[in-house]
Amino acid sequence: MNFPIHPASISRFMRADLPTRPHQYKMLVDGKWTPSLSGETFTRQSPGNDMIVGEYAKAGAADVDLAVTAARKAFDAGSWAYMAAEDRARILTRTAELIRQNADRIALLEALESGKVISQARAEMDWSANLWDYCAAVARTLHGDSHNNLGANLIANVMREPIGVVSIITPWNFPLLIISQKLPFALAAGCTAVVKPSEFTSATTLILGELLLEAGLPAGVVNIVTGFGNTAGQRMLDHAAVDMISFTGSTNVGKLAVRASAGTLKKVSLELGGKNAQVVFADANLEEAADAIIEGAFKNAGESCNCGARLIVERSVRDELVERVVERARQVQVGDPLDPAAQIGAIINQAQLDKIVGFVDGAKRDGVEVLLGEGRVPSDAGLFVYPSILMGVDRHMPVANDEIFGPVLSVMTFETAEEALSIANQSEYGLSAAVWTSDYETAITFSRRLQAGTIWVNTYSSGPAELPFGGYKQSGIGRENGRAGVEEFTELKTVQFHFGGRQNWWANGRR
């Protein structure tokens, strides 16, 4: 059965502010906009309408070396690491203001490059700016500890210091939001950074570089290189002058980052894949759950590590809940990312679209019933796919365990809470999960046993800046956001002060 989408095929939504030709971007190194040393460039074609939207400098290892050298100098010899927190906070606050002032321009480029719908891209501007505001506050409250109960002759300070130079590598699905979950936290701690955005979505990170310079960030504190993972990205992982790696992306690439860090024992912070469960008990508010299930599975075209791809529902209410979910899913509009009415935009590239369709086809061959949606949406340009709801999924099937990164919802059932917990926890991932129930005790006891870094109860996908975010198991290492997000970029140093005279150890040993 085909998803009864409106419109039946994708039509173009024209905007007056569309670029008439690709913008040419340079890299930010030591406060200056520079081309690659090789002079090579690459282009990005919009997945929503096939137009070329940007041309970027293609960084190689030598370009990364220059960027790391600039970051190293800015940390070791510059003022940033020892700048008064109020001054760092002022720059972070100003950056938040500039993001809001430039939100329409940034959101348009993000929608063109990523394929996400313009309404969502615009909302992410506010979310991103809020993270910079939050980090400005944390910069002024970050501190160490003092100890005066160590005896008559000893006091100590425990200092929290910036870790140093950080390699930050970000993915394509939330370009500005994810860099805003990393960079302002590193800056608040006093670190310097080399940043590489995805080659699919480089524009908004480069615009962020412009805004940082306008906000007064010293040269070399943030450097941005553009290019590909096997060259520029690998060098950022390997470089001996880098103290920490902060990476968001696939679990497989995260494992490569860990291996690369071993050479110099760099600290590693990873936010990786997810196969997240929405567990619905029979006493839940099914109306509210249905709405959240649709959002969790289909928002951002399912291209999200937090995608609620697994619906695990108590058997007695399965049919009623699925009927509600299908009813709402029929109203979801796939369309041109620039159309304000569209709720699901384009898929990032052809390989990802083929992967999504392949999972649905494989599930059909395994006997799964496709309630809604299968295959590619007809379109004269761009990459679009029907959202899919799969019924009768066995917990051991690939579609129930592998991260698809697309709008595919797999429905499974349970009889007891223990069975629901077993299905939810069987995944190798542990990023997030939701519990739907009207019983407070069920919510608490079930949440405590779920193996995930974020648990939502009777909601889905909220994420205040104050709350830490990260995963269990193969969903990552470390935490972003909240105070923990800043502390990830710090080292602890213990300084002990002795006074009142010290007995000579050598003389004492001769008695």
Q: What is the pLDDT of residues 138-185, one digit of tens each?
A: 999 999 999 999 999 999 999 999 999 999 999 999 999 999 999 999
Residue 509's pLDDT band, with cuts at 50, 70 and 90, is low
Residue 5 or residue 65, greater confidence: 65
The predicted structure's pLDDT at residue 502: 73
The predicted structure's pLDDT at residue 508: 65
The predicted structure's pLDDT at residue 462: 83
Residue 284, classed as helix, strand or coil, is coil
The predicted structure's pLDDT at residue 78: 87
Catalytic residue numbers? 271, 305
The predicted structure's pLDDT at residue 376: 93
C-alpha to C-alpha distance for 36 and 196, rounded to whole angstroms: 14
Residue 507's pLDDT band, with cuts at 50, 70 and 90, is low
| pLDDT surpassing 80 at residue 503 | no
The predicted structure's pLDDT at residue 4: 45
Tell me if 55 sits within 8 A of 24, measured CB to CB: yes
Give the C-alpha distances (Å, rounded to integers) separating 231 from 33, 61, 71, 266.
20, 6, 19, 19
Question: What is the pTM assigned to this prediction?
Answer: 0.95
The predicted structure's pLDDT at residue 511: 54
Tell me if 63 sits within 8 A of 225, measured CB to CB: yes
Q: Which amino acid type is present at position 453? A: G
Residue 1's pLDDT band, with cuts at 50, 70 and 90, is very low
| pLDDT surpassing 90 at residue 15 | no
CATH class of the 46-272+475-494 domain in this structure: alpha beta
| pLDDT surpassing 60 at residue 3 | no
H or E stretch covering 41? strand 41-45
Residue 507, classed as helix, strand or coil, is helix
C-alpha to C-alpha distance for 264 and 245, rounded to whole angstroms: 11
Residue 505's pLDDT band, with cuts at 50, 70 and 90, is confident
Rg (CA), the chain: 25
pLDDT digits (tens, 9 = 90+) for 428-486: 999 999 999 999 999 999 999 999 999 999 999 888 999 999 999 999 999 999 999 99
| pLDDT surpassing 80 at residue 374 | no
Cis preceding linkage at 7, omega within 30: yes
| pLDDT surpassing 60 at residue 116 | yes
Three-state DSSP string of 331-394: CCCECCCCCCCCCECCCCCHHHHHHHHHHHHHHHHCCCEEEECCCECCECCCCCECCEEEECCC
What's the farthest any 2 CA atoms get from each other in the chain? Answer: 95
Could you tell me how many helices (H) and strands (E) the chain has, helices first?
17, 23
Rounded average pLDDT over 9-27: 79
pLDDT digits (tens, 9 = 90+) for 275-322: 999 999 999 999 999 999 999 999 999 999 999 999 999 999 999 999
pLDDT digits (tens, 9 = 90+) for 41-58: 999 999 999 999 999 999
Q: Which residues contact 90 (CB under 8 A, 6 or more apart)?
A: 136, 216
Tell me if 170 sits within 8 A of 128, measured CB to CB: no
Residue 11's pLDDT band, with cuts at 50, 70 and 90, is low
The predicted structure's pLDDT at residue 5: 46
C-alpha to C-alpha distance for 55 and 199, rounded to whole angstroms: 10
Q: Which ranges of 437-502 does DSSP label H, i.e. alpha helix?
A: 440-449, 482-487
C-alpha to C-alpha distance for 5 and 323, rounded to whole angstroms: 17
DSSP string, 194-210: EEE--TTS-HHHHHHHH
